[in-house]
Amino acid sequence: MLTKRIIPCLDIKNGRTVKGVNFTNLRDAGDPVELAEIYANNGADELVFLDITATEQRRKTLSELVMHVAEKINIPFTVGGGISSVEDVEILLNSGADKVSINSSAVKNPQLINELAAKFGSQCIVVAIDAKQVEGEWMVHLVGGKVPTEIKLFDWAKEVENRGAGEILFTSMDHDGTKNGFANNALAHLSSLVNIPIIASGGAGNIQHFTDVFIEGKADAALAASVFHFKEIEIIDLKKELKNNNIPVRL
Amino acid sequence: MKIVIINYGAGNIQSIKFAIKRLGYDSILSDDAEEIKSANKIIFPGVGEASNAMGKLISTGLDKVIPTLTQPVLGICLGMQLMCNHCEEGNTQGLGIFNYDVVKFDASQKVPQIGWNQIENLKSKLFSGIDEKEFMYLVHSFYVPLNKETIATTEYGVKYASAMQKDNFYGVQFHPEKSSTAGAQILKNFLEL
DSSP B41-75: EEEE---S-HHHHHHHHHHHTHHHHGGG--S-EEE
8 Å CB contact of A123 and B19: no
Verify whether residue B84 is a known catalytic residue: no
Q: How much of chain B, in percent, has pLDDT values that exceed 90?
A: 91
Q: Collapse the DSSP code of B10 into the 3-class scheme (helix H, G, I; strand E, B; otherwise coil) and give the result.
A: coil
Q: Residues 83-102, chain A: which have Cβ within 8 Å of B?
A: 93-96, 98
CB of A192 within 8 Å of any CB in chain B? no
Q: What DSSP state is assigned to residue B130? A: P
CB nearest to B18's CB, from A4, A46, A71:
A71
DSSP 8-class letter at A4: P
pTM recorded for the entire structure:
0.95
From B113, B153, B114, select the one nearest B132 (Cα to Cα): B153
Backbone angles phi, psi at B30, to 5 degrees: -155, 145
Rounded percentage of chain A residues whose pLDDT exceeds 90: 79
| Contacts with B42 (C-beta within 8 Å, 6 or more apart), sequence order | B3, B4, B5, B6, B36, B69, B71, B72, B73, B74
When pLDDT is averaged across residues A159-168 and rounded to a whole number, the result is 97
Amino acid code (one letter) for A248: P
Residue A12 · residue A62 · CB < 8 Å: yes
CA R_g for chain B: 15
The domains located in chain B, with CATH, are: 3-191 (3.40.50.880)
Sign of the dihedral through C-alpha B186, B190, B191, B193: positive
In this model, does residue A11 exceed pLDDT 70? yes
Q: Identify all chain A residues contacting B141, using CB atoms and an 8 Å cutoff.
A: 122-123
Q: Which residue of A has its CA nearest to B111?
A: A196
Q: Is the pLDDT of residue B152 over 60?
A: yes
Q: How far apart are CA A183 and CA B106, in angstroms?
A: 29
Cβ contact A3–B177 (<8 Å): no
Choose from B114, B159, B186 for mutation: most chain A CBs within 10 A: B114
Indicate whether A30 pLDDT > 70. Answer: yes
State how far residue B46 is from chain A, nearest Cα, in angstroms. Answer: 11
Cβ contact (<8 Å) for B14 and A70?
A: yes
Q: How far apart are CA B75 and CA B102, in angstroms?
A: 14
Whether A189 shows a pLDDT value over 60: the answer reads: yes
Q: What DSSP designation does A219 have?
A: -
Residue length, chain B? Answer: 193
CB B11 to CB A2 under 8 A? no
Task: Note the pLDDT tens digit of each residue in A107-149.
Answer: 999 999 999 998 888 899 999 999 999 999 999 999 877 899 9
How far is Cα B130 from Cα B125, in angstroms, rounded to an integer?
A: 10
Verify whether the Cβ–Cβ distance B115 to A121 is below 8 Å.
Answer: no
pLDDT at B130: 98
pLDDT, mean of residues B149-159: 98
Closest CA to A131 of A73, A79, A186: A186
| Poorest-pLDDT segment among A8-22, A160-174, A193-207, B43-57 | A8-22
Residue B90 confidence (pLDDT)? 86
CA distance A103 to chain B (A): 20
Residues 6-25 of A with CB under 8 A from B: none
Q: Chain B residue closest to A193 (CA)?
A: B110
B178 → closest Cβ in A3, A67, A75: A75
Identify which of A86, A82, A99 has the alpha carbon closest to the alpha carbon of residue A48.
A99
ipTM of this predicted structure: 0.93
Taking each helix axis as running N to C, give the angle between helix A184-193 and helix A207-215, from 0 to 180 degrees, rounded to the nearest 10. Answer: 30
Element (H, E) at A147: strand A147-152
Q: Which residues touch B168 (CB under 8 Å, ≥6 apart)?
A: B69, B70, B71, B72, B73
Report the residue of chain A nearest B182, measured CA to CA.
Answer: A74
pLDDT at A25 over 70: no
Of B118, B140, B178, the CB nearest to A98: B178
- Chain B residue with minimal CA distance to A1? B117
Contacts of A4 in chain B (CB under 8 A): 115
Our answer to whether residue B34 is catalytic in this structure is: no
* Closest chain A C-alpha to B126 CA, distance in angstroms: 19
Query: Among this protein's residues, is B88 annotated catalytic?
Result: no
Using CA atoms, how far apart are residues B72 and B75, in angstroms rounded to an integer?
10
Taking an 8 Å cut-off on Cβ atoms, the answer to whether A40 and B180 are in contact is yes
Q: What pLDDT, on the 0 to 100 scale, is given for residue A39?
A: 95
Among A73-82, A138-147, B116-125, which is the least confidently predicted range? A138-147
pLDDT, tens digit, 9 for 90 and up, residues B38-50: 999 999 998 777 8
DSSP assignments along A50-88, one per residue: EE---STTHHHHHHHHHHHHHHH--S-EEEESS--SHHH
Judged by DSSP in three states, A172 sits in: strand
